[in-house]
Structure 1
Amino acid sequence: MEKFSTWRDKATGISPFMPHQFPISQNRQNKLITTLQIILIKTPIFILKFPSFILLTLLYYITGSTSLLNLIFKFIFGFNDVNYSVDGIKRSQLDKLQSYKPKIGDLIVTNYSSPLDGFIFNLISGTSSIIILIPDKKGDLYQYTPWSLISHCFGKNSNNRPIEETSKFKHKIVFLLLEGTTSNNQSILPFIKLNPKYTFDGISSIKSMVLKFSPNYFTIPIPINISKFYYLFELLTDFKSKTFKIKIYKFDNFNLVDIRKSFELNSLALINNKDLSIDGKEDFIKYYLNHDIKK
């Protein structure tokens, strides 16, 4: 691990781009046992679940129904119910909790760590009328859907032109991923400074949404050593209980200092080292490929 210390934040000790290995991949001492586990246990489970996954996913793609999405997360992926909370509001105060949930006209700053994030945004919003905006290193915003966010997470950037203005999204729920790239869900990377042309006129409410994902080996901080198919294979066959916790805060204005603090309050350390941003991640990937911890 010491050879990756250049990409470890000195203030927090966190290495935000270090990937977590899937449990079955960690058994490098006995490849025979690993192979038998895959063939005898995981593969039959995958074969049983995959047709249902395809059918439900196709229906969800056509209809945009969050009820179908909830079935996929709960019965196919094995996630528990959403752990949703708001500071100062009890879980029994359902009406007050409901008022904080994402709604049309909201601008929501949230963290970014996995290819499932866009679908989680969809699920918590209860509607498919969402827009995901991600800045590049220059601060230009690009538009994504939950589907195209998968490719972005695996390292393929949008081929589209950056958006010119944001007022056209006032009838949508806008999720803003200001880190610009994924990390391993232990911290918040430095926010990218947006092009000043983005004013977010027409936004009725500003919120932050802190997303904590477990187990953390389903995060994709760097898009290497794993394919989309293998990720799905592990998602369908992993036995460990899966959860995501969501906490929402409201703000009077677009104050990024206060917004970042809301993540820190929920165990996501603030990384202020500008070297641990998109450029730093690119350098980390190059180094990781040549000095892989598995070697």
Structure 2
Amino acid sequence: MEKFSQFRDRGSGIAPFLPIPSEPLGWQAPLRFFLFCFRLPLFLFITLTYFLILQWLPIGSLGKKAALWCILGVPSIWWIDLQVDGVRKGSLSKHQQARLPQPGSVIASSFTSPIDAVYLAAIFDPIFTASYPNTKRVERISLLQAILRAFAQPSVLPEPGTQLVDVATLVSKYPNRPIVIFPECTTTNSRGILPLSHSLLGVHSKTKIFPVSLRYTPVDVVTPIPGSYISFLWTLLSKPTHCIRVRIAECVQRGANALDTPPARSTRQTTYNTNYLDTLDQEIDGDITSAEKALLDQVGDSLARLGRVKRVGLGVKEKVDFVRMWSKMRKTW
């Protein structure tokens, strides 16, 4: 992989875009082939039933969560290791309201795998959004779109015609559900935290932001390479079990002065009619204040600490270049 050394972080040497190699089959080959062939039809049936039928029926939040847990149960994603900052083991129920994401709050989640969105939906029933590097506005997306984005090509700018909205607008529109933001904007191999999008700066000063880190054991269910559907399904369904390690940091809130004093050029009212052309004059790095930069650093540091990794200087633009080079090299192999 020395050919991709230019996509290593200069300070730490971390390569956040390289795929994680799977463990060799060895003596487990018959078992893994059996598990894959047994689980695949069941997994496809439950998944298609949910997204084509159940999600449109009035079965309520609990019914949808139960269906999502069935999807997670087929590949045996059962052992959930949950830790919350500031809460000792066995005393979480006493601090639930203050320590866990609640309706009206924002979840700033790491982004490594399609499982991220399914797990967050099964636990919190949130509104999902897609972020772009240099704009405070986000695109509201469905759970299925959030899953597919884990396999999608990275994008620095939204597609023409994309409707964007401030996070504060979504929070006020959906007060009974939390809002999920993937501030890294694209998936990684869980070995580093990318520079965070400015979308977190669109949060109201009274809104709590909860950094949430999701890590997997084995780690090879991550999807840093776009379009890796087949390899992901094989890894997910052929292994006996998977473990999710969930870490939730203490909430972060914006300073009132940082929010109430927007950059001079950002005077347009935010509505759902905001489109791609509006992004041409969006905020760039030089427009954010020191308080806003401190907020992004605080969330980024929390995600790095929770995941026991380091922050890297490589972002979406570098991943676009990496994917282009990766695809070109694969064609020559």
TM over 0.5: yes
- In structure 2, the CA distance between the partners of 1:168 and 1:142, relative to structure 1 (3 Å rule), is closer
- In structure 2, the CA distance between the partners of 1:186 and 1:294, relative to structure 1 (3 Å rule), is farther
1:68-147 to 2 correspondence within 5 Å?
68-74=67-73, 76-96=74-94, 98-99=96-97, 100-125=99-124, 128=125, 130-139=126-135, 140-147=137-144
Length-normalised TM-score, structure 2: 0.72
- In structure 2, the CA distance between the partners of 1:238 and 1:13, relative to structure 1 (3 Å rule), is same
Distance 1:294 1:212 in 2: 33
Specify the code of the residue in structure 1 equivalent to 2:145.
Answer: S
Asked whether the 8 Å contact 1:107–1:206 carries over to 2, the reply is yes
What is the identity percentage for the equivalent residue pairs of Structure 1 and Structure 2?
A: 22
Aligned residue pair count: 273
**What is the SS of the residue equivalent to 1:81?**
strand
Deviation string, structure 1 residues 156-196 (Cα, Å, up to 9, x no partner) = 5776623233323332211111111111011110112349x
Length-normalised TM-score, structure 1: 0.80
Q: Deviation at 1:5?
A: 1.2
* Residue from 209, 221, 227 that aligns with 2:224: 221
Distance 2:330 2:215 in 1: 27
Asked whether the 8 Å contact 2:118–2:147 carries over to 1, the reply is no
Asked whether the 8 Å contact 1:89–1:96 carries over to 2, the reply is no
Q: Match for residue 30 of structure 1?
A: none
Deviates more, 1:100-109 or 1:134-143: 134-143
Distance 1:72 1:194 in 2: 30
1:160-175 to 2 correspondence within 5 Å?
161-166=162-167, 167-170=169-172, 171=175, 172-175=177-180
Q: In angstroms, what is the RMSD of aligned CA positions?
A: 3.0
- In structure 2, the CA distance between the partners of 1:252 and 1:153, relative to structure 1 (3 Å rule), is closer
Specify the code of the residue in structure 1 equivalent to 2:37.
Answer: I
Q: Deviation at 1:203?
A: 5.9
- In structure 2, the CA distance between the partners of 1:84 and 1:97, relative to structure 1 (3 Å rule), is farther
Matched, 1:263 2:303: yes
Which segments of 5 or more consecutive residues in structure 1 lack a partner in the other structure?
28-32
Distance 2:93 2:149 in 1: 36
Q: Deviation at 1:123?
A: 2.3
Matched, 1:186 2:191: yes
- In structure 2, the CA distance between the partners of 1:98 and 1:44, relative to structure 1 (3 Å rule), is same
**What is the SS of the residue equivalent to 1:210?**
strand
Matched, 1:57 2:50: no
Asked whether the 8 Å contact 1:133–1:177 carries over to 2, the reply is yes
Distance 2:103 2:182 in 1: 18
* Residue from 208, 211, 233 that aligns with 1:208: 211
Q: Deviation at 1:292?
A: 4.7
Distance 2:252 2:189 in 1: 29
Q: Deviating runs (4+, > 6 A) in structure 1?
A: none
**What is the SS of the residue equivalent to 2:250?**
strand
Q: Deviation at 1:42?
A: 4.3
Asked whether the 8 Å contact 2:81–2:246 carries over to 1, the reply is yes
Deviates more, 1:184-193 or 1:95-104: 95-104
Q: Match for residue 18 of structure 1?
A: 18
**What is the SS of the residue equivalent to 2:79?**
coil
Specify the code of the residue in structure 1 equivalent to 2:42.
Answer: S
Q: Deviation at 1:247?
A: 1.4
Which segments of 5 or more consecutive residues in structure 2 lack a partner in the other structure?
255-294
